[in-house]
Chain A
Amino acid sequence: MKNIYTLSLLTFREALSKKIFLFFFSVSTFVIVVFALLFAFISPESFTDGFVSSTTTSFDNSIANGIKLFIIYPLYAGGLFISIFSVSGFIPSLLEKGNIDLILSKPVSRDQVILGKFFGGIAMVFINIFYAIFFLWLLIGLKFNVWDASFLLSAFTITLAFASLYSVIILLGIITRSSMLPMVISYLTFFIFSPILSSRDTIFAFVDNKIVSGIFSLLYYLVPQTSDLSSINTDLAVGNYISSALPLFTSTAYIILIIGLSIFIFRKKDY
């Protein structure tokens, strides 16, 4: 555990040194400041364009939920976009000749090296995401007196979505030693593959072919389910009932599987 902690800490330091963390933190701070100014100078009524609710509480709640919805999707997409960019270089820099030799010459198992990199990246992203979500939640609470803690849980779903993409970045990084390819594949997964596969039921309605259905179903489980996690994220943000928590479990299993596979390959490689 101590080795994983030390390696995670170094990964965090790497992010700090490359100004990745600072950039992420600045973006989060910028979003917080924009909303703080918005809430300070605009009255709740102007959000609803003159619509008045029957009770003040439900009026504030609906505005707050509207704002949360307005915030959460860009935060999810933007947060993951920056996160992928931030961590794509972690594995190639770890595997650089002269660096990996030194690390592997220490009493550290190869499993610990990968887990250290994984948790270091997760910590960096979680801190930034939680920072943004916590302060936005605080601002909404102060402005509308709506203190729904489920909004805070979004930080965990965003981090889970990131972790599923990061596990793929780690796996591809170990195989290719490249930062560009894992980054491109993660962006394609996040913006194209996952949304398409998530709406595979709609596709099945038009394509009545068992082979195509089988392929789509298989791909759905092979690709990180970031779109499904996005839906859960939105539900959590506005305090809605989560219709299916299955993507949370399948994504966790997916991460464990991909990280396990990464460790398996890393254990067998010469450096």
Chain B
Amino acid sequence: MNAIEVNELTKIYKGGRSKIEVKALNNFSLSISKGEIFGLLGPNGAGKTTLIKTLLGIVFPTTGSATILGSDISNYKIKNRIGFLPENHRFPNYLTAEETLKYFSQLGGNSTKNIDKRIDELLLLVRMSEWKKMKVSKYSKGMMQRLGLAQAMMNNPELIFLDEPTDGVDPIGRKEIRDILIDLKNNGTTIFLNSHLLSEVELVSDRVAIMNSGKLLKVGRVEDLTTTKEAYIIETANPIDSDFVNAKYMNTPSANTSFKNINVKLESSTKLSVNVKDNLELNFVIDNLRKNGINIKTISIQKNSLEELFVSLITDERGGTK
């Protein structure tokens, strides 16, 4: 059983008098396994928050279905096994951190037994113990995020949705939040992470999905998505001049016309990026370099950052103009 199963979910927002319809989710399907950290990426207005809100019953789907922890999303009782940190959340500003956690814990169906102990544990974990008795109206954005995270973890959930969890948090705080997420994952908690900070998602997520205009563009393991197929970086001990590369591999690829897919680009004087069709072509390039007295130091698979992939996908989706 998957932690989340989304089947062709569509959500259309209808504008009141303007009659404008916005398709926030467009036949969106997705499966998330138990115990993984799943990162959802997309530009503003892609439908990320709508997806989370639909899964949590805050927004109703127009068509399609979804299950959370094996239960239909319309079953509100399943939410006692779920934690949620919304983007720009607002806690009642007249409550202290302790009271906030107590209140949301009670709403979360927790018994009052051992509640104080759990509050102390979580406030210590998010480094908020010192401000336990302070009213949340006096908190900074970062402190609110930390308290929000503690709130999401209050009822020991099996699944946590985090919408921009590190928003307003300093770099050290972000690292601490990342560590908390990894600890949670190690304890079997499934984490659904929605963030604009691609590098952060890349650091903690097992799998990521990229969406735009309510559609799923790509989903997969971070490693798989960032690895470019049959693209290599060759580092050499001695410098290569550009004329040599152009003459040997670009303009006149080879005597053998079957190697016409080879694309070699000089990244620096000692670094080549090579795009080939298969190992045969890669070996052809290596042989040619060696034949011409070039000493090869390393050959590695070329990787794109998640950001590069994201920008490329979104740009293609929007019609190709960067």
A contact residues vs B (CB 8 Å cutoff) = 2-3, 6-7, 10, 13-14, 16-18, 96-109, 268, 270-271
Which of B60, B78, B87, B92 is close to A270, meaning CB atoms less than 8 Å apart? B60
B76 and A98 contact, CB distance less than 8 A: no
Interface residues of B in 127-179 (CB under 8 A from A): 151, 161
B84, B93, B104, B107 pick with most chain A CB within 10 angstroms = B107
B92 and A107 contact, CB distance less than 8 A: no
Which of A2, A6, A10, A270 is close to B58, meaning CB atoms less than 8 Å apart? A270
Q: A3-B107, A6-B103, A270-B13 are in contact. Are A105 and B92 (CB under 8 A)?
A: no
B99 to chain A, nearest CB (A): 8
B88 and A271 contact, CB distance less than 8 A: no
> In the complex the two chains form, what is the Cα distance from A96 to B57 in whole Å?
17
> Please, could you name 19 A-B residue pairs with CB atoms under 8 Å apart, sorted by A?
A6-B103, A13-B92, A14-B94, A17-B93, A97-B88, A99-B90, A100-B58, A101-B84, A104-B56, A104-B58, A105-B58, A105-B79, A105-B82, A105-B161, A106-B80, A107-B78, A107-B79, A108-B79, A270-B53
B89 contacts the other chain (CB 8 A): yes
Interface residues of B in 251-294 (CB under 8 A from A): none
Q: A13-B95, A271-B58, A271-B59 are in contact. Are A101 and B106 (CB under 8 A)?
A: no
CB nearest neighbor in A for B87: A98
B109 contacts the other chain (CB 8 A): yes
CB nearest neighbor in B for A10: B103
B86 and A105 contact, CB distance less than 8 A: yes
Contacts of A107 in B (CB 8 A): 76-80, 107-109
> In the complex the two chains form, what is the Cα distance from A101 to B107 in whole Å?
13
B94 and A17 contact, CB distance less than 8 A: yes
Q: A2-B106, A13-B94 are in contact. Are A106 and B79 (CB under 8 A)?
A: yes
Which of A6, A18, A268, A271 is close to B107, meaning CB atoms less than 8 Å apart? A6
Give how many A-B residue pairs fall within 8 Å (CB-CB): 82
> In the complex the two chains form, what is the Cα distance from A202 to B178 in whole Å?
73
Which of B76, B89, B94 is close to A101, meaning CB atoms less than 8 Å apart? B89
> In the complex the two chains form, what is the Cα distance from A107 to B107 in whole Å?
7
> In the complex the two chains form, what is the Cα distance from A145 to B60 in whole Å?
62
Contacts of A7 in B (CB 8 A): 107
B66 to chain A, nearest CB (A): 15
Q: A14-B92, A107-B77, A271-B58 are in contact. Are A102 and B106 (CB under 8 A)?
A: no
Q: A13-B94, A109-B76 are in contact. Are A98 and B107 (CB under 8 A)?
A: no
Q: A3-B107, A98-B86, A103-B107 are in contact. Are A10 and B76 (CB under 8 A)?
A: no
B227 to chain A, nearest CB (A): 36
Contacts of A3 in B (CB 8 A): 107
> In the complex the two chains form, what is the Cα distance from A100 to B84 in whole Å?
12
Interface residues of B in 219-248 (CB under 8 A from A): none
CB nearest neighbor in B for A105: B84
CB nearest neighbor in A for B75: A107
Contacts of B84 in A (CB 8 A): 101-102, 105
> In the complex the two chains form, what is the Cα distance from A100 to B95 in whole Å?
16
- Contact bitstring B55-83, A, C-beta under 8 A = 1, else 0: 01111100000000000000011111010
> In the complex the two chains form, what is the Cα distance from A13 to B95 in whole Å?
9
Contacts of A105 in B (CB 8 A): 56, 58, 79, 82, 84, 86, 161
Contacts of A16 in B (CB 8 A): 94
> In the complex the two chains form, what is the Cα distance from A92 to B78 in whole Å?
27
B93 to chain A, nearest CB (A): 8
Contacts of A270 in B (CB 8 A): 13, 53, 58-60
CB nearest neighbor in B for A270: B59
Contacts of B13 in A (CB 8 A): 270
> In the complex the two chains form, what is the Cα distance from A102 to B144 in whole Å?
14
A186 to chain B, nearest CB (A): 24
Q: A101-B58, A105-B84, A271-B59 are in contact. Are A96 and B90 (CB under 8 A)?
A: yes
A101 and B53 contact, CB distance less than 8 A: yes
